[in-house]
Amino acid sequence: MNLDDCRRLDAQDPLAALRDQFILPEGVIYLDGNSLGVLPRAAPARIAQVVAEEWGQGLIRSWNTAGWFDLPQRLGDKVARLIGAAPGEVVCTDSTSINLYKVLFAALSQAGDDKRRVVLSERSNFPTDLYIAESMCRERGFRLELVEADALASALTDEVAVLMLTHVNYRTGAMHDMKALTERAHAAGALALWDLAHSAGAVPIALNDCNADYAIGCGYKYLNGGPGAPAFVWVHTRHAGQFEQPLSGWWGHAAPFEFNPHYRPAPGIARYLCGTQPIVSLAALECGIDTVLAAAPFDGDHGSMAALRAKSLALTDAFIALVEARCPGRFSLVTPRAHAERGSQVCLALQEGGSGAYAIVQALIARGVIGDFRAGDSRMPDILRFGFTPLYLRFEDVWNAVEHLVQVFADDEWKRPEFNQKLAVT
């Protein structure tokens, strides 16, 4: 594969025009949309309108006249289309961490009993998920059991109340088989709770088809909702009207404006709202979600996310092939090669004995190729992480990113002292 091949692929790309939906900085190849999505072109004007008109002029009337009040549900219905859920099953609210607290609490109340005292998860799950689970287990008398991904199925014993997993691993980009693991969990009598932080907007998800129980996901990664955007939460309808909301704020009340002294939870997913919603942030999130929904017409008969997934796999395949061809012997591929087992990112580790992953990432960033670094531990190597967002990335960008990587090794550029100083956010 060469630059001409990449340009040919771009010329044939049915999704090419979707790039115009974004404001991308000049001279940047952005391979970090899995951490913070880029700015939708529609967002600045929409945010300005919310501030100047809806807040500035409408003031409190805007809760009714500008549709503020049901924004979490309206956006939730849009997210539902991306995750294999139905309208009325999702709300956009709070952060991923807080939503995890809410759904894990509910799942433990439902599935836990005297014999089922275990929350099962993966050792390399995202830390906030493990921290929330750890403290909740401590508070509620459960035990958090962490195993490697390939040991999950055998660890699903009759002591497990909840299987809590992140669908696509934040470090490695490895993707679980949601349907098979959910089935295994149910066969063992456990509930299945999925974190979709690195999946929503990146890979096809079929929550109802997989028969999952609870799911949460992030608004600022592949949904392009802006820094700290509200997250989302889904519950299978078989639990509707039953599941618990531990943060029993007034927005999850059946009738918040009755101002009744006693809590009575709303019947459906609205129960998972807690307090007054961040309207400006929700407005920005809607612009982001809309950029992903704009790909839906290209799916044809293939269903949700098919076109984006096809391009994502083609981009990541091209990146892997070019790194292997042009930087031979330098990296090992941490991300699974099989399509069914990977999300929309590619992670590389330096080959045996190599060090300097952090400095290489910094040298790439100085060249305008923005990926990120995740430190290893005794079990995992340091990794270079590259997220591929098919909405705006071109095959030519993939070529250029690898060309910069080649250059970073020429003349030992990455060994310069300025690339070896750790910053607070990596």
Ligand X SMILES: *Cc1c(COP(=O)(O)O)cnc(C)c1O
Return the range that interacts with ligand X (CB under 6 A); candidates 191-199, 334-342, 346-354, 413-421. Answer: 191-199
Which among 14-22, 195-203, 206-214, 284-292 is the span making contact with ligand X, rule CB under 6 A? 195-203
Residue 342: burial class (beta carbons within 10 Å; 0-12, 13-18, 19+): buried
Cα separation, 144 vs 104, whole angstroms? 12
Minimum CB distance to ligand X smaller for 231 or for 307: 231
Of 95 and 237, which CB lies nearer to ligand X in the complex structure?
95
Q: State both tokens at 33.
A: 């949309």
| Single residue of 166, 291, 344, 389 touching ligand X by CB under 6 A | 166
Of residues 102-161, those binding ligand X (CB under 6 A): 126, 128-129
**Closest separation between CB of residue 391 and ligand X, Å?**
18
Give me the catalytic one of 129, 385, 394, 419: 385
326 as an active site residue: the answer is no
Residues 84-103 binding ligand X (CB under 6 A) are: 95-97
Contacts of 297 (CB under 8 A, 6+ apart): none
**Residue in 22, 101, 126, 358 annotated catalytic:** 126
Q: Which residues have C-beta within 8 Å of that of residue 287, sequence separation ≥ 6?
A: 40, 42, 43, 46, 224, 225
CB of 138 to ligand X, least distance (A): 20
Which residues in 298-336 are b (16+ Cβ under 10 Å) and which e? ebeeeebbbbbbbbbbbbbbbbbebbbeeeeebbebbbe
Active-site residue, selected from the candidate residues 105, 214, 220, 392:
220
CB 291 within 8 A of CB 22: yes
220 is catalytic: yes
Pick the catalytic residue: 13, 32, 195, 372? 195
Element (H, E) at 179: helix 178-187
Looking at the Cβ atoms of 274 and 359, the one nearer to ligand X is 274
What distance lies between CA 235 and its chain's CA centroid? 17
Query: Is the separation of the CB atoms in 339 and 406 below 8 Å?
Result: no
Q: Which of 54, 195, 213, 397 binds ligand X (CB under 6 A)?
A: 195
Question: How many Cβ atoms from other residues are within 10 Å of residue 362's Cβ?
Answer: 22
Q: Cβ closer to ligand X: 96 or 182?
A: 96
Look at the block and give the residue holding tokens 């549709």.
Answer: 67
* Near ligand X by CB under 6 A: residue from 218, 289, 334, 401: 218
Residues in a beta bridge with 233: 91, 216
Nearer to ligand X, 97 or 211 (CB): 97
Whichever of 230 and 252 has its CB closer to ligand X, that residue is 230
- Residue 382's alpha-carbon distances to 45, 373, 376, 379, 413, in angstroms, are 40, 7, 4, 10, 19
**Which candidate, 259, 292, 278, places its Cα nearest to that of 71?**
278
- Which secondary structure element, helix H or strand E, spans residue 332, and what is its range? strand 331-333
- Nearest distance, CB of residue 197 and ligand X, angstroms: 3
Say whether 195 is catalytic: yes
State the binding string over 50-89 for ligand X (x if CB under 6 A, else -). Answer: ----------------------------------------
Nearer to ligand X, 125 or 316 (CB): 125
- Taking the least distance from each CB to ligand X, the nearer of 35 and 304 is 35
CB of 175 to ligand X, least distance (A): 13
User: What are 279's two structure tokens?
Assistant: 């309207």
- How many residues make contact with ligand X (CB under 6 A)? 12
Q: Least separation, in Å, of the C-beta of 351 and ligand X?
A: 27
CB of 370 to ligand X, least distance (A): 17
Is 385 noted as a catalytic residue in this protein?
A: yes
In angstroms, give the least distance from the CB of 227 to ligand X: 10
For the CB of residue 324, give the shortest distance to ligand X in the complex, in Å.
27
Query: Of 30, 142, 170, 331, which one interacts with ligand X (CB under 6 A)?
Result: 170
Q: Are 226 and 113 within 8 A, CB to CB?
A: no
> Contact at 8 Å (CB) between 175 and 340?
yes
Residue whose C-alpha is closest to residue 145's, from 160, 127, 131: 160
What would the x/- binding string for ligand X be over residues 224 to 243, using CB under 6 A? --------------------
**350 burial type by CB count under 10 A (0-12 exposed, 13-18 middle, 19+ buried):** middle
Q: Is position 126 annotated as part of the catalytic site?
A: yes
Active site residues: 126, 195, 220-221, 385
Binding site for ligand X (CB under 6 A): 95-97, 126, 128-129, 166, 170, 195, 197-198, 218
